[in-house]
Amino acid sequence: MPDPASAETLPLGPVVDPTPRPLPARVPHRGRSVDLEPLHPRHVPELWQATAAGTPAGDPSWAYLGYGPFASEAALRGFVGGFATAHDPMAWAVRPHRSGTADGWLTLMDIQPGNAAIEIGNIWFGPRMQRSRAATEAMALLMRHAMDDLGYRRLLWKCNALNAPSRRAAERLGFTYEGTLRAHMVVKGRRRDTAMFSILAEEWPARGAALASWLDDANFGPDGQAKRSLGEIFREALS
């Protein structure tokens, strides 16, 4: 019988810097087309207007979130009061320059300093902000903060596996699909399979540069429309 393998001969994975990464701070982030402000109850009146309050039950933007829609501004205020004080997830209100109002929120969450892993999620954008330059820049600002400023090694995106828009957004932003966790959660009384996506530290420089190139003022005409698609820029950057 052969001798058992020694620890030196077993495949153990590459050595990495085990230093815990810093926790995110509740500070603002400024972009070309959008500002991120630490979420606060003072944002509620503007957020309520952004929810298209006349028909909240029919707004599909809440379908895959674990909360919402909210029946009243008071109900939204009650939710934001707790959400804004949490440290994980840590939430920012999103203020596009074009509207000047808080039109959504997003968070950094599942923060694991010891594993250098962090997730961008809990994203809700009001109807007028969806599929806009400001929406993309809001996400890019937190992605850059996590990877460049804080030095995380793994940036995660996860969503309901049935949420086709979120899956497309992950791929558009440069995330790599890792697989699906079956029967991962129960959300609003329904089984949720969770699709997992990630960007690793060694992948981030090219992806971050592609995002920056798309967001550059030179890529946008006077009508606010992008001259080149993010997909086109990614294909060139990653080819």
Is the Cβ–Cβ distance between 132 and 138 less than 8 Å? Answer: no
Q: Where are the domains of the chain?
A: 22-238
Hey, what amino acid is at 85?
Answer: T
DSSP state for residue 88 in the 8-state scheme = S
| Cis amide linkage into residue 89, ω under 30° from 0 | yes
Structural tokens at position 153: 């090694």
User: Which CATH superfamily hosts domain 22-238?
Assistant: Gcn5-related N-acetyltransferase (GNAT) (3.40.630.30)
Hey, what amino acid is at 147?
Answer: M
Residue 116 to residues 22, 24, 44, 201, 232, Cα–Cα distance (Å): 9, 12, 33, 10, 30
pLDDT by 10s per residue, the chain, length 239: 445 666 678 999 999 999 999 999 999 999 999 999 999 999 999 999 998 744 445 678 899 999 999 999 999 999 999 999 999 999 999 999 999 999 999 999 999 999 999 999 999 999 889 889 999 999 999 999 999 999 999 999 999 999 999 999 999 999 999 999 999 999 999 999 999 999 999 999 999 999 999 999 999 999 889 999 998 898 888 87
Residue 209 to residues 5, 32, 52, 233, 234, Cα–Cα distance (Å): 44, 15, 35, 10, 9
pLDDT value, residue 36: 98
Helices (H), the chain: 44-50, 73-83, 133-144, 164-172, 204-215, 230-238
pTM (2 decimals)? 0.93
Structural tokens at position 35: 């500002």
